[in-house]
Amino acid sequence: MKKTVLSGILILCSVLLAAQSNEVRSALQQYRYKEALLLLENEPETAENLLLKAESLEKLYNYADALTVYERLLQNNPDDTELLISAAECASQAGDTESALKNWIKADSLSPGNLFFQTKKAMAYYRNGNWQETIESAQTVFQSDSIPLLLRMTGDAFLNLNDPIEAGYCYSKAYEKNPSDHLSLSRICEFYYALGEIGYDTVVVMTEKYLNEINPNQKSIGQFNGMANYSSGNFDKAIERLEANIALGDSSYTTTYFLGMSNYGKSWHYEAVKWLSKAYEINDKDVNLNFYYGTALGRIKNRDKAVEVLQEGMDKIHEMSEKLYGFDVSMAETYQNSNNPAKAIEYYLSAYKRQPDQHNLLYSIAHVYDTAKDYKNALATYERFMKTAPKNLDFTRSTPAEGEKMRMEDFYYMVSFRRIKELQEQLFMQSGKK
């Protein structure tokens, strides 16, 4: 009797569990993922149910929690390649590039020579910012297959390692394999556009081929075409192309700026103002924009706005000059401390040119010459420095009077005064020996 009752209970439990499992599957089949998750909370934590939970979380775009579930499953099944693939893909969606990379490396180690795993590992290195590893892993893949996407990624990796030649080669191969790859073409155009006049025609030819044969509505390629035509002086073609971009919904700074500049090049100042004003609304930090926008405003007789914009440009130049002065002085001091007097003097002179009222720089330059034993230039620069001294300054004393505060600049004048005497005597003695 007891056995009969127990068997009945077990059968009933099995029926209930089966009913619950079917209810979960039914919810999943009907895309009721939140309901499926609630049902799974009352289910036993089996591997199958954990997989259903992870699937439901992924369908709800909750990749971080789904990844946690996959990681729990992997603790008991660390060599399950299907789990590793799911965890890696989920981690990638969650933005956890380190976990994605770890799982692809593990999957690749379990199946050496698997092109799919090798490719995914190389891409994972790329997304994690491991540029050298991206290149090395990609080279392994390229022995079997030159995948266009991976070629472009490898180009990016070379570019991040400051190797534009190898990067350009990879972008060119990627574009050759997939002529519709506008991202690779954009990278190639960036390279040729940066070359200046010798590269503009190449950009025009390549972008026109793409726009005519592949996709006339690709905005980034259209933008490069307009930029290159403007820079080559083909203002009409630039205007035509950039206006087409505007019609496609491209209202970016680059497009509005070059469209405005193309109209400026044609002396169509009202149109220039129209588009340069839009560029100015997006980014008012560009000094060149201040100049051309302000000039165009002045030529359509909007003088008040022209003065305002041009004055902003002048203020930026002044501010920039002050910052560059600080950089020059820091560079000079660094080279001076690194025992490179020529470069130190070069930067001190640059700083002095920016702010000629900073007379202490003359003392610094003289001191560098002096330390380098270039006594003639040291003497000439000390003397030049002394010409800026206050007329009432007593050079003969070396210490301030009681209660007096001596400026550092005054101290430099006194040191220079004494050093001039020493150098004059030293040079005189040297000339006598000759």
Mean pLDDT of 72-92: 92
Dump the DSSP string for 179-248: TT-HHHHHHHHHHHHHTTHHHHHHHHHHHHHHHHHT-TT-HHHHHHHHHHHHHTT-HHHHHHHHHHHHHT
Nearest to 358 by CA among 397, 392, 385: 385
Query: Where do the domains of the chain lie?
Result: 359-433
422 pLDDT band, cuts 50/70/90, is confident
Mean pLDDT to the nearest integer, 8-34:
60
Answer whether residue 5 shows pLDDT above 70. no
Name residues whose C-beta falls within 8 Å of residue 169's C-beta, 6 or more positions apart in sequence: 155
The pLDDT value recorded for residue 17 is 41
Q: What is the mean pLDDT of the chain?
A: 87
What share of the chain in percent tops pLDDT 70?
91
Dihedral sign computed on CA atoms, order 415, 416, 419, 420: negative
Amino acid making up residue 143: Q
Per residue in 257-280, pLDDT (tens digit) is 999 999 999 999 999 999 999 999
Contact 246, 278 (CB under 8 A): no
Q: How far is residue 421 CA from its own chain's centroid?
A: 54
Q: Is residue 234 over pLDDT 60? A: yes
Q: Please list, in sequence order, all residues whose beta carbon lies within 8 angstroms of the beta carbon of residue 19, skipping any fewer than 6 positions away.
A: none
Task: Give the whole-angstrom CA distance, residue 200 versus residue 193.
Answer: 6
* pLDDT tier, 212 (very low <50, low <70, confident <90, very high otherwise): very high
Measured at the CA of 431, the angle between CA 396 and CA 364, to 5 degrees, comes to 45
